[in-house]
Structure formats: C-alpha cells, structure tokens
Amino acid sequence: MAALPARTPAASGRRLASVAVVEDHPLVLSALLALLDNQPALRVIATARTVGELLSSHQGWQADLILLDIDLPDGSGLDAARKVMDTDDQVGVVFYSASTDPDIIHQALETGCRGYISKLADESQIVPLLLDAAAGKRVFDSNTASVALSRRPVDDAPSLTPREAQVLTLIATDKTNARIAVELGISENTVKTLVGRALGKLHVSTRAAGVAVAVGSGLIRPPQ
C-alpha cells in the first residue's frame, strides 16, 4: 500500500489520526483494514508485513500511530518498536498481538509504547482505543488492562473512592449509567463523572478495561 501524506490537517479542518498497520497475516490485515476503513477520525496511510518493511519505510509514512504485531516473519515487533521510536519521537506505537502472556505485555510496555491491544479484543474496542492513543493516552483492551498494570509500583498503585468503586462494581454487572443512577439515588451526570474519574485513576479508557483493572487490582469484587 502506498503511503499517503500524514500529520497534516484534513481539508475540512478536522484533524485525522493517521495509522500504519504492520501485520503479516493476510486475513488479520484485511479484517483490520475493513474495520478502520471509512472511520471519520482515522485514516490508514500505509501497511507493512515485516520488520524490514517497517524500518525502511516508517520515516516516510510520518504516521501518528503504528499498529504493530509482535511476531513478524523476520524479527520481533518489540525490537522494531524501539528502533522506530528512537528515530521518530512523535509516533505512537500500539501493539496488536495474539499474546496475553504477562511477560510479553510488560516487555512491550518497557519499549515506551502507547498501548497494547490483544487480538482477542472485541472489534468495538479497537477504534476508540486507537483514537485515545492518537490523543496521547496509553491504552489497553479489557483482556490486557489488568496484566499491564499489575506491576505498577506500590506508591503509584491506583485507588478509588468508595463511590467510584461502587459504580464500577455495578458496571461489572452490566448495568447502564441510567440504572446505576436510579440504584444509587444520584443523577446520571454524576454517574458519568464518577466513571470518568475512576477510569482516569486506572489509566484506561473503556468501562470494560476499568472493571478488569479494578478486579485485577483487588479494588472491587468480581461479579458473582
């Protein structure tokens, strides 16, 4: 796929996030391109299938994000990510991998990447996570969030107020904001504020990831 100009405003004045996808499995690559096609705030500008293609081309892409598989035919995406970020301090790398091995996830985070999305993640999570990553946030899907944050230093361990924990506990039982508001006797806007505050403390961007991290960190009980 020929690279298109990136890191420039769209003609409408709305800033598009440019994405390059590095994935060697044709079916996975096709599925990703189909998912990202016609997204109003994302534009796929290039693809690659190997570490060699990535390293020889990425500076020309000038992508905002590189969605990068870890297991590539000619090398490791982990090593490639380090080399990419050494030469381009503006790009954000988000790993997209079949592995949920804690050691692999932590090695990925040590590269300074913008996030880690499991190939087990529901498709509905991927675009919002990429948009958050393009905005500078570190992102994880619900399969990797608790693992990614499990080695956080004690002094930096997340904490929730009792009300925030209560709201996340109800989210874990699939309750909507409206239903939570009724059960707790508070406004729906207050519920939204509590959810946003809790997700911010847990350094995640989705409700599912927030529940996963909170349960994994022992901040709330898993749903029965």
Which fold is adopted by the domain 154-216? Answer: Arc Repressor Mutant, subunit A (1.10.10)
Mean pLDDT value across residues 96-116? 89
Q: What is the pLDDT of residue 155?
A: 46
pLDDT at 2 over 50: no
pLDDT at 40 over 50: yes
Read off the pLDDT band of 35 (50, 70, 90).
Answer: very high
Q: What is the pLDDT of residue 143?
A: 85
Are 64 and 43 contacting, i.e. CB atoms less than 8 angstroms apart? Answer: no
CA–CA gap between residue 124 and residue 162 (Å, rounded): 30
Q: What is the pLDDT of residue 150?
A: 67
Weakest mean pLDDT among 25-29, 181-185, 204-208: 204-208
What CATH number does domain 17-143 carry, 3.40.50.2300, 3.40.50.970, 3.50.50.60, 1.20.140.10? 3.40.50.2300
pTM above 0.85, yes or no: no
Mean pLDDT value across residues 57-77? 95
Q: What is the pLDDT of residue 10?
A: 38
Strands 75-76 and 71-72: antiparallel
Q: Where in the chain is the domain with CATH 1.10.10.10?
A: 154-216
pLDDT at 17 over 60: yes
Q: Where in the chain is the domain with CATH 3.40.50.2300?
A: 17-143
Mean pLDDT value across residues 87-107? 89
Are 187 and 211 contacting, i.e. CB atoms less than 8 angstroms apart? Answer: no
Q: What is the pLDDT of residue 65?
A: 96
Mean pLDDT value across residues 46-51? 97
CA–CA gap between residue 61 and residue 63 (Å, rounded): 5
Phi-psi region of 81 (alpha: psi -120 to 50; beta: other; left: phi over 0): alpha
Q: What is the pLDDT of residue 11?
A: 35
Digit-coded pLDDT (tens) for 70-93? 999 999 999 999 899 888 878 999
- 148 compared with 36, residue with greater pLDDT: 36
Q: What is the pLDDT of residue 189?
A: 92
Tell me the three-class secondary structure of the chain, residue by residue. CCCCCCCCCCCCCCCCEEEEEECCCHHHHHHHHHHHCCCCCEEEEEEECCHHHHHHHHHHHCCCEEEECCEECCEEHHHHHHHHHHHCCCCEEEEEECCCCHHHHHHHHCCCCCEEEECCCCHHHHHHHHHHHHCCCCEECCCCHHHHCCCCCHHHCCCCCHHHHHHHHHHCCCCCHHHHHHHHCCCHHHHHHHHHHHHHHHCCCCHHHHHHHHHHCCCCCCCC
